[in-house]
Amino acid sequence: MSAGSNRRTLRLLVADDERDTVQTLASILSDEGHSVAYAYSAPGVLAEIRKELPDAVIVDISMPDISGLTVAREMKRIYGEATPLMIAISGIFIGESDRMLTEIAGFDHFLQKPCDAHTLLALLEPLRAAA
């Protein structure tokens, strides 16, 4: 996507226990000019969002110990209407019932791994265009 003069840089958080997924998504998003933080666990996500609330959070829903679903519910509990855009990703939970669970937990979108870069960037575009 080409950079426009009135598009802003987003603060993003990518969370997945698979380091390759985090590094790949972080590279794609950084190449688009975004500021990217990352976490490899659910507690890491919660620690990062306490430092600075990002514009969007991309979270694997099948992390060990604490699931991404729990992360989403906790973010909704803490931030309410100020909760950033939340995008769930998964390579394991990909059925329609899994998508419904992500919606109930508070996610705005669901992407199946491997995530299509154009789809991910399109989901972020409305935030970039916002003043």
pLDDT at position 1: 43
Q: Where are the domains of the chain?
A: 11-124
pTM: 0.90
Block means of pLDDT (10 residues each) for the chain, length 131 residues? Answer: 66 96 96 95 91 95 89 93 94 77 93 92 91 54
3-state class (DSSP) for residue 20: helix
Cβ-in-10-Å burial (0-12, 13-18, 19+) of 40 comes to middle
H/E stretch holding 21: helix 19-31
Q: Find out if CATH 3.40.50.2300 is the number for domain 11-124.
A: yes
Q: Distance of CA 18 to CAs 14, 15, 58, 66, 130, Å? A: 11, 9, 13, 14, 31
Q: Name beta bridge partners: 14.
A: 38, 58
49/37 Cα distance (integer angstroms): 10
pLDDT at position 92: 77
Q: What beta strand segments (E) does the chain contain? A: 11-15, 35-39, 56-60, 85-90, 109-112
